[in-house]
Structures are given as structure tokens and as C-alpha cells.
């Protein structure tokens, strides 16, 4: 009989931040559809609870639990990990998807507060989370960490400069974690979305001119949708990617095929 369990996540515990809507919600749903128990986390508990309820209705009761957490606070992240242990057990999969972009404009004009918030939320919080969950994975001799970066990491921008810097730093963080954790059986990768129709990126696509430019400049001739990220999440979480680590995977409809 042919073994078809390559993407089977039955028995795995997955923790996702920024998971109450958009790409994070779709990735959480994809993992649950393939058997994982998922923690849906973001700042607002009611949104987390709504998403967890929808996943449970689709995948079976107990497939998802909601835990609110703000990635900007180390104690809240530690509480998130501790509550995950209490509710579901030790963590096999981490998708650090939450991020911020508090400033839109020239990097020469960015206030210190906005710069600090961008770098701390988008980079430091991911290191905090990786350090918190890595012991679970090291103990098991296996595990997968994915950090959401961006295709913006591969270019400059007159309006998103600091955000792009933070995402390139995320890729550097992924590479270093992959180097250090690889000998212990833990894989670490970056997911780099192109322009996706989410609330987070609404200012970049929610007008006819911007949408037309994005569609015409994309080989697949459409913007990304949140569900386009189910596959990459399941792939990186599963044994299907068991020899892939330290990579920046672009999911962009072809816009960054040379990035």
C-alpha cells in the first residue's frame, strides 16, 4: 500500500500568531484540516474565539483553541506558550505571522517610536517566541518554525522602508535559527508573501489604480488571497519539507521570481 501520510499532521500541536483573520486564519485552518490541533492567537480574544469556533465547526471540536496575546510584550508571549502547554501540550509547529506597520512614508522621516515598534514587533518578538518554543522541539528531535516575512525584504521602498528592513531582518533571523537548531532536528523557514488582499495590506490594493497595477504586474494576473497560504503552511509544517530549512519561500504569483 502506498503511504499517503506525507502531509499528515495528526497529533501535532501548532501555535500561530496573527491568526484571527487573513493569512494567519487560513494557515491555521489548513493545519487543522490536516489533523493538527491549533492555537489561534492575536491581540483581540473575541476575534480569536470566532476563528477558533469556525475551525472547530469545520474540522471537529477541539481542533482549535483561542488565546489572546500581544506580541509586543514578552510576558504575554510567555503566557501564550504556557497556556498552549496547558491546553494542548508541547508545541511541534510555530507560525509567527503577526506583525505591524505603524508608519507609511520616507524612512528619513520616521519617528523613533515608530521605528522601534516596527523592529521590536516584527523581529524581536519572533526571536522571543522561537526561544520559548524551541525547547519543546529540541526535546522531541523535530519541529518546524515559520516566520512571515515579505517580498518587500528584497527591495527598497519610499513608503515602506522600515517595514521592509524588518522583514529582511526576519529572513536573517530565520537563517541563523536554522543554523543553530538544524543539528537538533528543528527546521526554520520564512514565508514571504507578495501583495495579498488582507485588511493589513488594504492601503496597497483597495483602489482601482493600485489593483490594476498589481494585477498587470503579476504573472498569475491576480492579487494573492489568504487561502493561497494554506498549502505553504501545511508543507512547511509537515514531513513533506523534512530537508528544507533556512529558506525564504516567496508566495507572490510570480512577481519576485528572481528575488
Known catalytic residues? 163
Quick one: cell of 130?
522561537
The residue among 214, 191, 203, 232 whose CA lies nearest residue 98 is: 191
Helix (H) or strand (E) holding 17: strand 13-17
**Are residues 42 and 48 in contact, defined by beta-carbon separation less than 8 angstroms?**
yes
Q: Could you give the CA distance from residue 212 to residue 71 in angstroms, rounded to a whole number?
A: 34
The residue among 146, 139, 152, 121 whose CA lies nearest residue 30 is: 146
Q: Could you give the CA distance from residue 71 to residue 122 in angstroms, rounded to a whole number?
A: 9
Handedness of CA 59, 21, 154, 219 (dihedral sign): positive
The residue among 171, 192, 177 whose CA lies nearest residue 145 is: 177
Amino acid at each position: 500500500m502506498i503511504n499517503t501520510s506525507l502531509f499528515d499532521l495528526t497529533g501535532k500541536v501548532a501555535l500561530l500568531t496573527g491568526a484571527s483573520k487573513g493569512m494567519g486564519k487560513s494557515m491555521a485552518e489548513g493545519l487543522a484540516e490536516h489533523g493538527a490541533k491549533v492555537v489561534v492567537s492575536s491581540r483581540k480574544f473575541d476575534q480569536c474565539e470566532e476563528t477558533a469556533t469556525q475551525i472547530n465547526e469545520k474540522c471537529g471540536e477541539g481542533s482549535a483553541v483561542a488565546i489572546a496575546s500581544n506580541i509586543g510584550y514578552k510576558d504575554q508571549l510567555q503566557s501564550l506558550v504556557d497556556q498552549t502547554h496547558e491546553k494542548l501540550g508541547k508545541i511541534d509547529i510555530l507560525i509567527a505571522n503577526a506583525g505591524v506597520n505603524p508608519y507609511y512614508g520616507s524612512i528619513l522621516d520616521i519617528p523613533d517610536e515608530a521605528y522601534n515598534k516596527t523592529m521590536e514587533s516584527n523581529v524581536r518578538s519572533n526571536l522571543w517566541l522561537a526561544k520559548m518554543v524551541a525547547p519543546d522541539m529540541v526535546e522531541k528531535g523535530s519541529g518546524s518554525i515559520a516566520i512571515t516575512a515579505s517580498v518587500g525584504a528584497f527591495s527598497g521602498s519610499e513608503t515602506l522602508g522600515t517595514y521592509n528592513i524588518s522583514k529582511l531582518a526576519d529572513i536573517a533571523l530565520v537563517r541563523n535559527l536554522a543554523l543553530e537548531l538544524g543539528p537538533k532536528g528543528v527546521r526554520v523557514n520564512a514565508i514571504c508573501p507578495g501583495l495579498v488582499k488582507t485588511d493589513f495590506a488594504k492601503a496597497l490594493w483597495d483602489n482601482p489604480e493600485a489593483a490594476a497595477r498589481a494585477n498587470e504586474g503579476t504573472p498569475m494576473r491576480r492579487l494573492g488571497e489568504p487561502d493561497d497560504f494554506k498549502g505553504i503552511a501545511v508543507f512547511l509544517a509537515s514531513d513533506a519539507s523534512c530537508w528544507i530549512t533556512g529558506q525564504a519561500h516567496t508566495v507572490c504569483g510570480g512577481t519576485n521570481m528572481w528575488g
